[in-house]
Amino acid sequence: MSAAEGPLVAGVDTSTQSTKVLVVDAATGQVVASGQAPHTVTSGVGRESDPRQWWDALREALRQCGDAAHEVAAVSVGGQQHGLVTLDEHGEPVRPALLWNDVRSAPQASRLLEELGGAKAWAERTGSVPAASFTVTKWAWLAEHEPDSLRATKAVRLPHDYLTERLTGEGTTDRGDASGTGWWASGTEGYDEEILAHVGLDPALLPRVVRPGEVAGTVRDSHDLPFSKGTLVAPGTGDNAAAALGLGLRPGTPVLSLGTSGTVYAVSKRRPADATGTVAGFADAHGDWLPLACTLNCTLAVDRVAALLGLDREAVEPAAGLTLLPYLDGERTPNLPNASGLLHGLRHDTTAGQLLQAAYDGAVHSLLGALDLVLEEEADRSAPLLLIGGGARGAAWQQTVRRLSGRPVQIPEAKELVALGAAAQAAGLLTGEDPAAVARRWNTARGPVLEAVERDEATLARIAGVLSDASPLLERSERSTTAH
């Protein structure tokens, strides 16, 4: 292990596919050890995982960190948002967790909107218009389809809450992750009792919302991790809020994240309330707001297209009038939860590489369409986009974002920004600093800037036209799916 200048902290990223751990020197930001272990996610209509696998993956990732993990003075968990974790009276999962990309609750989302005042009322109340990804709609789905599971549930948690509670023995969450549930009111920064009553969820089943900078607890005695009893545990947060911390993000700087899902967001001093539902009005992890738009289909969907074509993911050719809407898991932006992929413009001379480039174009189009809604009017539209996530290092992703955005693109050299943000939050407990200031001190956003190229207006207009023309078909697909 490298000699550290300051105390060591651990940042955890429990994502859809795996759990990652970074052990970081709190003084310098140097990563002194890391580990990663996978999860299993069901395929088909539902997307579920056993939360106990997350704990096992955390143990294995920490084991890979070796001796450094034993020296950790504080730990924080960043996690995938929206997931519904139901626990019994012994703290064991009642059933597998319903993950963010499980869209079976689309009918319940529509019904809740109608029953509680419509989209504008929801946006003003919670900051967001709940879609099928939100936790409140998943709870409503569970009540309708698995009433026995509901009756057995004695605690309701989000993925990061589950791991934090296993560390500390106390049920806690933070404002950033709570803001993605649909039952946390952004205006009052507390649980919304009317919404909870409407969906039949006792607020006593929910975790305490820990304030930014507050200690969530300490590592308890009965555990099988390398942490010492009494190690400080930070509040943790959702993955996007953790990545914002990891970048040391200042208000107005746009981020485009390319992962299993795609997101665009920026820190804001203003509480968002977008009645169209395109922008989710999330809270961030240190007192501000994180207006965010999310797509369900990003790197995983494009990789699937590449696999179907038997191509390497970089083997793209100019799309030449071809349009592919890669909505393989339904879509959230635009809000088409039961849609499927759609291809238009296929010709005899169409190549596999053109098909693949069209998939990239379709995925990026959805994200950029929401970018202007995320940014405030006074934001500098010529400032570089910070490109992060697993896809950010791929040349095809980089060039597609440059071409369709017309903006310079900066690619931070730091990897695993969710885990780094969690580590910065843990470091803040030890130093008393704002975690974003810790990350700026670590210089985590440093990286090359790719110059702007001319915006490809023709491709953007073509995709928008196909999407508009295909709406009746996609809506018919929704109706036929939900009617069963």
**What amino acid positions are annotated as catalytic residues?**
239
pLDDT, one tens digit per residue, over 163-181 is: 999 999 999 999 999 999 9
pLDDT at 162 over 60: yes
Banded pLDDT at 483 (limits 50, 70, 90)? very low
**Percent of the chain clearing pLDDT 90 (strictly above):** 84
pLDDT at 237 over 60: yes
Q: CB of 411 within 8 A of CB of 68?
A: no
Instruction: Supply the mean pLDDT for the chain.
Output: 93
Residue 484, pLDDT score: 39
Banded pLDDT at 477 (limits 50, 70, 90)? low
When pLDDT is averaged across residues 138-161 and rounded to a whole number, the result is 98
Stated as kind and residue range, the H or E segment containing 323 is strand 323-325
Residue type, 421: G
pLDDT, one tens digit per residue, over 56-76 is: 999 999 999 999 999 999 999
Residues 6+ apart with CB under 8 A from 469: none
Residue 481, pLDDT score: 46
Stated as kind and residue range, the H or E segment containing 262 is strand 262-265
Q: Which string of b and e fits 13-40 if b means at least 16 CB within 10 Å?
A: bbbbbebbbbbbbbbebbbbbbbbbebe
**Percent of the chain clearing pLDDT 70 (strictly above):** 98
pLDDT at 375 over 50: yes
Of 60, 3, 16, 6, which is closest to residue 34 (Cα–Cα)?
60
Banded pLDDT at 252 (limits 50, 70, 90)? confident
Task: Enter the pTM of the model.
Answer: 0.88
pLDDT, one tens digit per residue, over 293-318 is: 989 899 999 999 999 999 999 999 99
When pLDDT is averaged across residues 24-39 and rounded to a whole number, the result is 97
Residue 478, pLDDT score: 52
pLDDT at 390 over 50: yes
pLDDT, one tens digit per residue, over 393-428 is: 999 999 999 999 999 999 999 989 999 999 999 999
User: Could you tell me the end-to-end alpha-carbon distance of the chain, in angstroms, rounded to an integer?
Assistant: 58
When pLDDT is averaged across residues 370-399 and rounded to a whole number, the result is 88
pLDDT at 26 over 90: yes
pLDDT at 192 over 80: yes
Banded pLDDT at 4 (limits 50, 70, 90)? confident
pLDDT, one tens digit per residue, over 321-364 is: 999 999 998 888 888 878 899 999 999 999 999 999 999 999 99
Banded pLDDT at 482 (limits 50, 70, 90)? very low
pLDDT at 200 over 60: yes
